[in-house]
A and B are shown apart, each in its own frame.
Chain A
Amino acid sequence: DQQVKQNSPSLSVQEGRISILNCDYTNSMFDYFLWYKKYPAEGPTFLISISSIKDKNEDGRFTVFLNKSAKHLSLHIVPSQPGDSAVYFCAATYNQGGKLIFGQGTELSVKP
């Protein structure tokens, strides 16, 4: 039962353009969502998060949007840079225990 889904395994974007990574979830109990960036053979690096009481959170080039009614969140990267090329995971959690449920990941490739 995949509670967090990233349906696009890969995305290719031109440098300077916007990258939009999508994530869907099924569990309405989730109250906190996070995006991580990961390179091969390395641990995930935290990028940005959002609480379910908000619909948008922005940090520099990264913005996360949350649509609770659609159970959908997205990560926007503007402008995209070649160094952004990596696998991006969305994750969700719903209790004080903090257990994260991860999506399958989307591999972003930003071409110069």
Chain B
Amino acid sequence: GAVVSQHPSWVICKSGTSVKIECRSLDFQATTMFWYRQFPKQSLMLMATSNEGSKATYEQGVEKDKFLINHASLTLSTLTVTSAHPEDSSFYICSARDVGQPAKTQYFGPGTRLLVL
């Protein structure tokens, strides 16, 4: 149980284009999903909290107009990197909390490697 998938697993795009990353909870419902990014040899940094049916909450320093988040259902959240630039190249990871479980454990997807040329 508690499986989270991400698609695509890696993507290469040209500077200026937009990239959409999907995060799905496969066997549980998640009212809240989280988006993180990780640079090489660094920790996971929370970008935003995605709430089903409402606007995402962004961390300080994260541009909400650049990183668009949509949480349209209890099993799907999407992150769109708009007008991507080389500095957006990173490893993006989503996580989800199971609404049916009282614990605060988050389950993570496998991550998406983004390379912007």
Contacts and interface: CB of A to CB of B under 8 A. Distances in A.
Which residue, of A42, A43, A46, has the highest number of chain B Cβ atoms within 10 A? A43
Interface in A57-112: 89, 93, 97-105
A97 B106 CA distance: 11
Contacts of B78: none
Contacts of A101: 46
A100 B111 contact: no
A97 B32 contact: yes
B44 interface: yes
A84 B44 CA distance: 20
Interface residues of A, number: 21
Given A97-B32, A102-B44, A105-B43, A41 B111 contact: yes
A100 B43 contact: no
Interface residues of B, number: 26
B103 A99 contact: no
Given A41-B91, A41-B113, A42-B110, 18 more contacts: A32-B103, A32-B104, A34-B105, A36-B108, A43-B6, A43-B93, A43-B108, A45-B108, A49-B105, A89-B43, A98-B32, A98-B49, A98-B97, A98-B106, A99-B49, A100-B34, A104-B42, A104-B43
Interface of A: 32, 34, 36, 41-46, 49, 89, 93, 97-105
Interface of B: 2, 4, 6, 32, 34, 42-46, 49, 57, 91, 93, 95, 97, 103-111, 113
27 contacts: A32-B103, A34-B104, A34-B105, A41-B91, A41-B111, A43-B4, A43-B93, A43-B95, A43-B110, A45-B108, A46-B2, A46-B108, A49-B103, A89-B43, A89-B44, A97-B32, A97-B49, A98-B34, A98-B49, A100-B34, A100-B46, A102-B43, A102-B44, A102-B45, A104-B42, A104-B43, A105-B43
